[in-house]
């Protein structure tokens, strides 16, 4: 094993001090002289034509500086793909979900803006709405877009092997319907920004996990070259996909207000706006059909997925792609068919969220596999080991796995006392104890074709310290810390010598952002390469000092030396000074980018890798189920996670814990209650996310594999456990109650009803 | 001649719109929530011991948040060289000039800070002062530093050839005493900054022409690594050397206040503070001895220079170095001796200013040469052409000249009607007209050993536009525009495609700053190399598209093509997209730095090049002299300037005009009136800079040479004419009046007195 200095150590976060002291500035903290406040006016109808907007009363309110309606954007629309550009900053003629933005006001302060927003009178002609994706697919259902038949926003199909032959070879075939949750990300910081438009172009301080997305959208909307759009990244109070991955009405309106008024313009969404109108996870209906031999071998799977897409397409095509392309992991699957339909409804927009696309289908397949194994009398561990892949592996759709700790993870959990004694610990009520298992996989280092690389620029200061520029965003996951570790390790300097700068699209290199568990894998590899570039440059100076070969220069523990010549050694700082003061001064700048290339990737057919590597998560969850109240409490979780090499184990632990808690919320508590497109619980009291007393003991076991593609062998460690948690909770509840539940969330009502039905 | 697209064109300034609309933010425009104001308390004595400082009354004033005295800096000092670290942020025990900072206050607003500053009671023990550098050198004079004998702050000696032999070979030897002016830079923006100190280190928005100087000083003063100091460059309202090239009491105090209070802290010097206490040009006494043959050939020169250094050394050693090392241009000089003494006095500090070090000695030598030629009956043009160097040339102290337009410049002026008819146009009074000439040289691309390079980082955006990062500062000279031209020309794109970012030491590459006419030459060459780096990367993608050689790819007029294959062509933007979207995305970043190396440079002995190239300026100046009032008005100037290739002729013109006006101010109007170390005219009404009605017609003729070392052949174009103007004014006055004046400024009093003496 390599002898690491900072890699693999439990390093404290580089942003900890700024955050705990309150120094860290978030977008909402920015105040500028003359700044205006922007408020958005939203539709109270889920589906309606806009007949007229009367802004005159708002305009007359003292303190109001400007008012915008959809017409001011002149028909400009954005979307994830050229053919899905259908979302307007402000809807001009028609609203398709309750809460869609229709107008905006800018005023001298927040209260005035709020008051003015209420004075804007919009005349609507309500249209019939459709809120259930299965009903929306039916002939005669209300149509959201005139040119789209049956409200199919996006469909995606895969067909590999011989699905019929696979089912014929099976001894048991199951078909089941699973339903996954209508949930949202739980960031504490709502979307916010301060925008400025002047002769230098746009500057916006915006809470974005992918600043370069809004950078492109603003350039397109305002018809500016990209180097005239500057998205500056304050600290981010959580992201998790969805809202902060995309542009919002507030972004476009605040910029346009600034352009028209010459003032900086700020917006901060309320938590009600977030919960009513922002992007959320697609809730899906998964019809899963699986074939299994008597020995537990899976022979075929056909999944039919119907996703509630809400009013616009957004990033939905990628969700659909992931729902299928990742279904061929973590188990051997020779025959696979997948039909995914993303359906427009008059609900808020379905989009990305941690565990993007995979949580749904993995939940279905994982439960179904264990249901069938149970029917065939096969142990939950045995059926998993029977089908588990090992590395190297290529799936039927050409996903290539280079490292895999799945078997070791399952075996580790299976060897635990918790698992071995699970039946003894069950008890007889009224509170029964259950233990469940799951095994899943998630991609890391997501990349498609396109400008998707990460890059790093490192500047060596003459005192040997390093300025590190990256476009990768730390939205709370701790990636800044891991990235600094990578730079420090490769350069052989201390963590405290590396200072990572906040993202600023004008100066930091282009980066696709924080999603798809890509920062450690891709931005990390870019950083490592930039550090190697610095070393290559410095080694030439060192070699000249010592008349040695540049290849023999070693960087370690803030010292530089010639391999095998212990007398030829000097502090790193000294070499930095020698280089920077050589001649009239060398300027040492290192750069690197994550150019892995794309071997095979067919987005239309679901072939190939859209990840750089794949993590494997095995999870054991224990629950207490109160048979009288139906209340479920998770008591323990053990997560055996293969993230390649854990670069910062405390961070890996925290990421897995956070993902598991979020997954537990989805499995047990969280659910938007909807009525005709209206969110009935748009506040954190009624939309129940897990609170501190709900958190079980969570143990994270690192299954070390050393992936050849990641920096220092790292893979992803931020999304795996949100995929593994729901099925492990459901198998635990099955163990406790004997009932297979197939719908999220597993509320007390559902448990009580099911127990009552069973008794009858 | 090369076919240029943007080079050589009269391009409007890239910062013009921001400046004329008032959008451009200068340091004093920054406002931050909770910001405090800092005011400096200054000594009313030119030389005194500090016995006690009572801050209690100031501290009790409501609104005062903090008070600092010298002790708070714990003895830390800074200086230009390790052995000249003698200046304290606040003097702790002794003041050496009137206006030296002794304490500082921070308060909630400017008025309160001002009031509190007046409440600070400092008890002094006055010491005898010395204010004349020649008297300060005498035995028994008051001593400023106990360890320095005879108040010699710095001395510098050169001795090349055989000086005695040179004088023996001469037919005429003159010895004269010349005095140059006690003047200051005329920026409209006073020094200002807003400083913030938090857990991320120091951030300071500061008006600095060399931000990386204060960056190093702050790191040293506050014991921080360099990557924890961030100097952000607002727009700069003029620099010209001196004050904005160095750190100030306000910089250190505002940072320390911020550290102690946790608030942002701002200071803005008043114009009175600037004129009373800030760095100014060294006034010098030049004893010049020259030998000349009957044919006008200069055989030897010995200059003895005594400079008034004021209370601290600052950048004075470089001034002294330049006063001698540049004396061997623009005339052949086989034997040269130079003895320069920088003398401490209890005056404000002498430092750099446009034409640094050279204006003094060139003024003396140029006048003396013409005086001697006149005595020998040699025409002013003939004596100049007799001695003028031609390229290539190596001076006796190994300054190497690769291009030289001196002879062409002199001949151009000599061929003009103005010159040819000068005697006819003289008139007989009471207003007489005179025409004078001068020829001078100045260095461009100043660099010494050390971290003195410039660098550039270019980021290619996927739409083909460019983000350009440089540490070089545009302090009003228009260099941002020229740098963008260089990038655009080399990449074959439009000026509007290149966006230069403001300097920010955390993200822009290290740069020594704006001084020594170095930006176009060094930052420009770095930018050109970075553009070549971008082209090299892009050419590989183009070559792949067309199956061509990367070397054959041509970038021109926003198009990319294969040389000789007109059908293989595409827009630059298209190639940018191909590259950025190749695979999972290439990240195209170009970098370059001005690594010319140092061939020969001995700072102690005055040997070698501290410039990269040398400009040559010939100037013809016409004056009206009122023989009754002594008032002199410049009516016309023609400046034949060899700046290599003028990259932006309108900028070259403006720079020459500005320098000539500044030189005219020094020659005729400007002078600090001093009394025992007190500046008597610290305001712009009494310190007379030229105003609009004083400005003559100024014609600038570009003498095109194509220097091999500069980007696109460019040399300097910002300091030459401040060297050539004073001697051309004085020779013009001689022509008008028949009197040789040798002291700046040439005030009406001096003219009237001289005329009166002559009559007697």
Check if B552 contacts A (Cβ < 8 Å).
Answer: no
Q: Can you say whether the dihedral through the CA atoms of B138, B140, B145, B146 is positive or negative?
A: positive
Q: Are A349 and A97 a contacting pair, CB within 8 Å?
A: yes
Distance CA B528, CA B595 (A): 12
Secondary structure E strands in B415-541: 431-444, 455-460, 466-470, 498-500
Q: Which residues of A touch B593 (CB under 8 A)?
A: 585-587
Best of B585, B594, B601, B603 to substitute, by most chain A Cβ atoms within 10 angstroms, is B585
Q: Are A468 and A657 a contacting pair, CB within 8 Å?
A: no
Distance CA B47, CA B127 (A): 5
Question: Of all helices (H) and strands (E), which one includes residue A698?
Answer: strand A697-702
Residue B664 vs residues B475, B632, B650, B756: alpha-carbon distances, Å: 21, 11, 21, 24
- In chain A, DSSP finds a helix count (H) and a strand count (E) of 19, 34
Closest Cα in chain B, distance from residue A582 (Å): 7
In the stretch 19-38 of chain B, residues with CB closer than 8 A to chain A read: 21, 23, 31, 33
Distance CA A133, CA A149 (A): 13
Task: Give alpha helix (H) positions in A187-331.
Answer: 211-221, 249-261, 271-277, 316-325
Distance CA B312, CA B741 (A): 31
In the stretch 510-529 of chain A, residues with CB closer than 8 A to chain B read: 510, 512, 526
Q: Are A31 and B264 a contacting pair, CB within 8 Å?
A: no
Angle of helix B380-387 versus helix B358-375 axis, rounded to 10: 120
Residue in this structure with the two tokens 């803005």, named with its chain if needed: B268
Q: Are B540 and B509 a contacting pair, CB within 8 Å?
A: no
Cβ of A452 within 8 Å of Cβ of B596? The answer is no
Contacts of B587 (CB under 8 A, 6+ apart): A453, A454, A455, A509, A510, A526, A591, A593, A595, B580
Residue in this structure with the two tokens 């792949």, named with its chain if needed: B544
Check if A176 contacts B (Cβ < 8 Å).
Answer: no
- ω before B392 within 30° of 0 (cis)? yes
Tokens for B139, please give them: 């035995």
Cβ of B510 within 8 Å of Cβ of A461? The answer is yes
Check if B223 contacts A (Cβ < 8 Å).
Answer: no
Closest Cα in chain B, distance from residue A15 (Å): 9
Phi and psi of A32, rounded to 5°?
-135, 150
Distance CA B414, CA A640 (A): 89
Cβ of A200 within 8 Å of Cβ of B18? The answer is yes
- ω before B559 within 30° of 0 (cis)? no
Q: Which residues of B touch A450 (CB under 8 A)?
A: 581, 584-585
Q: What is the pLDDT of residues B439-483, one digit of tens each?
A: 999 999 988 777 788 999 999 999 999 999 999 999 999 999 999
Distance CA A274, CA B581 (A): 34
pLDDT for residue B525:
96
- In chain B, DSSP finds a helix count (H) and a strand count (E) of 19, 34
Closest Cα in chain B, distance from residue A589 (Å): 8
Q: Which of A466, A532, A480, A209 is nearest to B507 (CA)?
A: A466
Candidates B31, B461, B507; nearest CB to A501:
B507
Distance CA A490, CA A172 (A): 53
ipTM of this predicted structure: 0.94
Phi and psi of A199, rounded to 5°?
-65, -15
Q: Which residues of B touch A585 (CB under 8 A)?
A: 447, 450-453, 510, 512, 593, 595
Q: Is B748 helix (H, G, I), strand (E, B) or coil?
A: helix
Residue in this structure with the two tokens 């249901």, named with its chain if needed: A371
Residue of chain B whose alpha carbon sits nearest to that of A445: B584
Report mean pLDDT in 10-residue bins for chain A, 760 residues.
Answer: 88 95 95 96 98 98 98 96 95 98 98 98 98 97 96 97 98 98 94 97 96 96 98 95 92 98 98 96 98 98 98 96 97 98 98 96 98 98 98 96 98 97 93 98 87 92 97 95 98 97 94 93 96 97 96 97 95 96 90 76 88 96 97 98 97 97 98 97 95 97 95 94 98 97 98 90
Residue in this structure with the two tokens 């957004």, named with its chain if needed: A314
What stretches in chain B show pLDDT beneath 50? none
Cβ of B584 within 8 Å of Cβ of A228? The answer is no
Can you list the domains of chain A with their CATH numbers? 27-127+192-238+242-273 (3.90.1170.50), 280-447+601-759 (3.30.365.10), 450-593 (3.30.365.10)
Q: Are B39 and B523 a contacting pair, CB within 8 Å?
A: no
Distance CA A586, CA B549 (A): 31
Contacts of B559 (CB under 8 A, 6+ apart): B492, B569, B570, B571, B572
pLDDT for residue A759:
77
Distance CA B437, CA A655 (A): 77
How many Cα atoms sit within 13 Å of A583 on the Cβ side? 14
Cβ of A463 within 8 Å of Cβ of B21? The answer is no
Closest Cα in chain B, distance from residue A455 (Å): 7
Phi and psi of B38, rounded to 5°?
-110, 135
Distance CA A660, CA A636 (A): 11
Distance CA B429, CA B412 (A): 29
Candidates B459, B463, B585; nearest CB to A453:
B585
Distance CA B550, CA A291 (A): 55
Q: What is the pLDDT of residues B230-245, one digit of tens each?
A: 999 999 999 998 899 9
Candidates B450, B509, B587; nearest CB to A587:
B509
Q: Are A443 and A388 a contacting pair, CB within 8 Å?
A: no
Q: Which residues of B touch A504 (CB under 8 A)?
A: 507
Contacts of B118 (CB under 8 A, 6+ apart): none
DSSP A426: -
C-alpha B92, offset from chain centre: 31
Tokens for B213, please give them: 């100087």
β partners of residue A351: A281
pLDDT for residue A613:
95
- ω before A392 within 30° of 0 (cis)? yes
Distance CA A249, CA A274 (A): 12
Q: Which residues of B touch A465 (CB under 8 A)?
A: 225-228
pLDDT for residue A428:
87
Candidates B228, B457, B499; nearest CB to A499:
B228
Long-range contacts at A203-206 (CB < 8 A, ≥ 24 apart): A203/A230, A203/A232, A204/A229, A204/A230, A204/A231, A204/A232, A204/A251, A204/A254, A204/A255, A205/A27, A205/A30, A205/A232, A205/A233, A205/A234, A206/A27, A206/A231, A206/A232, A206/A233, A206/A234, A206/A251
Task: Give alpha helix (H) positions in A447-552.
Answer: 479-491, 524-546
Cβ of B501 within 8 Å of Cβ of A507? The answer is yes
Closest Cα in chain A, distance from residue B634 (Å): 39
Task: Give alpha helix (H) positions in B376-414.
Answer: 380-387, 406-414
Q: Are A533 and A462 a contacting pair, CB within 8 Å?
A: no
Candidates A33, A226, A504; nearest CB to B462:
A226
Cβ of A598 within 8 Å of Cβ of B587? The answer is no
Closest Cα in chain B, distance from residue A590 (Å): 9
- CB-based burial, B654-679: b 16+ in 10 Å, e otherwise: bbbbbbbbbbbbbbbbbbbebeebbb
Candidates A501, A507, A593; nearest CB to B586:
A593
- ω before A239 within 30° of 0 (cis)? no
Q: Which residues of B touch A496 (CB under 8 A)?
A: 225
Closest Cα in chain A, distance from residue B338 (Å): 26
Q: Is B104 helix (H, G, I), strand (E, B) or coil?
A: strand
Cβ of A584 within 8 Å of Cβ of B448? The answer is yes
Contacts of B456 (CB under 8 A, 6+ apart): B468, B469, B470, B483, B487, B509, B523, B526, B527, B529, B530, B590, B591, B592, B593
Closest Cα in chain A, distance from residue B600 (Å): 10
Q: What angle do CA B402, B406, B407 make, to 5 degrees?
A: 115
pLDDT for residue B428:
87
Candidates B469, B585, B594; nearest CB to A451:
B585
Tokens for B351, please give them: 């430092």
Cβ of A587 within 8 Å of Cβ of B597? The answer is no
- ω before A650 within 30° of 0 (cis)? no
């Amino acid at each position: 094993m390599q002898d690491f200095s900072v890699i693999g150590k439990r390093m404290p976060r580089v942003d900890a001090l700024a955050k705990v002291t309150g120094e860290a500035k978030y977008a909402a903290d920015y105040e500028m002289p003359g700044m205006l406040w922007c408020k958005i006016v939203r539709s109270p109808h889920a589906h309606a034509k806009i007949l007229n907007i009367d802004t005159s009363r708002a305009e007359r309110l003292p303190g109001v500086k400007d008012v915008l309606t959809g017409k001011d954007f002149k028909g400009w629309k954005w979307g994830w793909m050229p053919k899905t550009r259908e979302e307007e900053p402000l809807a001009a003629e028609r609203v398709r979900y309750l809460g869609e933005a229709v107008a905006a006001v800018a005023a001298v302060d927040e209260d005035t803006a709020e008051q003015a927003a209420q004075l804007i009178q919009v005349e609507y002609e309500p249209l019939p709405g459709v809120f259930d994706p299965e009903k929306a697919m039916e002939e005669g259902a209300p149509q959201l877009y005139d040119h789209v038949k049956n409200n199919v926003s996006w469909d995606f199909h895969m067909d590999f092997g011989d699905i019929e032959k696979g089912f014929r070879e099976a001894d048991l075939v199951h078909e089941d319907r699973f339903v996954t949750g209508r949930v949202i990300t739980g960031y504490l910081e709502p979307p916010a920004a301060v925008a400025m438009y002047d002769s230098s172009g746009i500057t916006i301080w915006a809470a974005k996990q992918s600043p370069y997305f809004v950078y492109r959208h603003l350039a397109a909307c305002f018809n500016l070259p990209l180097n005239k759009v500057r998205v500056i990244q304050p600290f981010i109070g959580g992201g998790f996909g969805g809202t902060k991955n995309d542009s919002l009405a507030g972004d476009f309106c605040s910029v346009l207000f600034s352009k028209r008024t010459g003032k900086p313009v700020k917006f901060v969404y309320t938590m009600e706006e977030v919960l009513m109108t922002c992007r959320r996870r697609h809730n899906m209906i998964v019809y899963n059909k699986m074939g299994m031999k008597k020995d537990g071998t899976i022979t075929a799977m056909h999944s039919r997925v119907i996703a509630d897409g809400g009013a616009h397409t957004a990033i939905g095509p990628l969700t659909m792609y992931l729902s299928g392309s990742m279904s061929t992991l973590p188990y051997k699957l020779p025959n696979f068919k997948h039909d995914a339909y993303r359906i427009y409804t008059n609900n808020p927009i379905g989009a990305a969220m941690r565990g993007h696309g995979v949580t749904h289908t993995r939940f279905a397949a994982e439960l179904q596999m264990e249901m069938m194994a149970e029917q065939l009398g096969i142990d939950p561990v045995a059926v998993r080991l029977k089908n588990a892949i090992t590395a190297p592996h290529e799936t039927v759709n050409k996903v290539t796995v280079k490292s895999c700790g799945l078997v070791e993870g399952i075996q580790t959990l299976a060897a635990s006392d918790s698992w071995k004694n699970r039946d003894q610990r069950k008890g007889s009520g009224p509170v029964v104890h259950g233990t469940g298992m799951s095994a899943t996989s998630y991609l890391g280092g997501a990349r498609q074709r396109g400008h998707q690389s990460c890059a790093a620029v490192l500047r060596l200061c003459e005192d040997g310290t390093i300025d590190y520029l990256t476009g990768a965003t730390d939205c709370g996951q701790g990636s800044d810390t891991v990235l600094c570790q990578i730079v420090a390790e490769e350069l052989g300097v201390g963590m405290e010598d590396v200072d990572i700068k906040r993202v600023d699209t004008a100066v930091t290199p282009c980066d696709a952002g924080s999603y798809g568990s890509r920062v450690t894998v891709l931005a990390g590899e870019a950083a490592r390469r930039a550090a190697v570039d610095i070393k290559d440059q410095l080694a030439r100076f060192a070699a000249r000092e010592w008349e040695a070969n540049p290849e023999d220069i070693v960087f370690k523990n803030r010292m530089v030396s010639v391999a095998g010549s212990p007398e030829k050694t000097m502090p790193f700082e000294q070499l930095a000074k020698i280089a920077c003061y050589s001649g009239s001064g060398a300027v040492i700048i290192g750069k690197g980018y994550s150019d892995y290339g794309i071997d095979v990737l067919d987005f239309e057919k679901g072939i190939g890798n859209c990840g750089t590597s794949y993590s494997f998560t095995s999870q054991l969850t224990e629950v207490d189920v109160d048979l009288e109240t139906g209340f479920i409490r998770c008591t323990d979780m053990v997560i055996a996670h293969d993230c390649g090499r854990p670069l910062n184990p405390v961070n890996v632990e925290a990421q897995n814990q956070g993902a598991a808690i979020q997954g537990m919320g989805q499995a047990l508590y969280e659910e938007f209650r909807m009525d005709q497109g209206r969110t009935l619980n748009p506040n954190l009291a009624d939309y129940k996310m897990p609170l501190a007393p709900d958190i079980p003991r969570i143990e994270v076991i690192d299954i070390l594999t050393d992936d050849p593609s990641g920096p220092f062998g790292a893979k992803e460690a931020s999304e795996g456990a949100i995929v593994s948690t729901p099925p492990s909770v459901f198998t635990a509840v099955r163990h406790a109650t004997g009932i297979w539940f197939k719908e999220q969330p597993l509320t007390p009502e559902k448990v009580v009803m099911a127990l009552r039905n069973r008794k009858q």
